[in-house]
Amino acid sequence: MSQRITLRTNTQKYINFYVDENAHEQRIDNFLFRQYKKVPKSRIYRLLRSRNVKVNKKRVNHLYKLQCGDVINLPNIIEQQCVTTNHKPSEKVIQLLVNRIIYEDDDLLIINKPSGIATHGGSGISFGVIELLRAARPNAKSLELVHRLDRETSGVLVIAKKRSILRTLHEQIRNHQIKKQYLLLVRGQWRDKLRKINYSLHKNCLRGGERVVAVADDGKKALTIFRLRSNFVDATLLEAELGTGRTHQIRVHAAAVGYPIAGDKKYGDKTYNKMVQQLGLQRLFLHASVISFTLPNGKVMNVQAPLDEELKNVLAKLRKIN
């Protein structure tokens, strides 16, 4: 499961965390408990009581509820838990991402993220997209992720080059003004041209020793709008639009209504996954295809990321079977 924040640095006495929509409305003490699982809770509470934790340069207590776009600043209480590497990413991997840049100007950098690369380092991952792009653009001092994609998901990913742009886009995320569309291949024959799924989701549920996201009445509200694109033999190509941005939202909602995504090892159907492997699918068939937002100068951005060749080839084979 991805972390909720982006780690800015780990080589100084203080650390900044940039909060995205997944941590919106979460209490700061609970947020820090999850980031520092090996640190005694008493130590974190001591930091909060001593007013050594700041949000947006203001001191807060343990009851503060995080907002998307907040910047948390606190002492580096457990450096070994952060991403630490003594080596640099390979030029080959850096060039792979550079070749997938689909838009860049003085304010933004937008890539078509490949499947298999995390958005940021952590949890045993030395380098994610943001670390690789910082290595590729050493003169861009303020590169920050605007949002995230699951490691297995490909597609359009937006990186801000300026804090002002990051704040603007985070505000649009909070106000549900950013439009995100995904393409996904699911098991079975989906019949509805349009279907809204609004099951609430709960994170960190244990299933067979693994932490997953699950449908739960006491979870956070989540809305996904599915639209039918193409029917195949025992498979359907769907378009999904996010009404909210919960972790694994599309994957869980699709599986919950009986249409798991092809290649999904966490929420999918093992037998079906083996079948689509024979068509050449070696990954999750979930692709962030379009993102739309407005820049501070009023310019409307509508960026599309084309499907990778592997996904195109799978669809071509399904059309032949039809």
For residue 134, give both structure tokens: 């910082």
In contact, 39 and 159? CB cutoff 8 Å: no
Rounded CA gap, 13 and 77, in Å? 8
26 CB-near residues (< 8 Å, 6+ apart): 4, 65, 66
In contact, 303 and 176? CB cutoff 8 Å: no
Which among 95, 91, 93, 151 has a CA at the least distance from the CA of 119? 151
In contact, 183 and 287? CB cutoff 8 Å: yes
For residue 255, give both structure tokens: 């599986």
Bridge partners, 196 (sequence order): 225
Q: Provide the edge-to-edge strand list for the sheet that holds 14-19.
A: 5-7, 14-19, 71-75, 54-55, 58-59
Rounded CA gap, 43 and 46, in Å? 5
Active site residues per annotation: 150
For residue 269, give both structure tokens: 């159907």
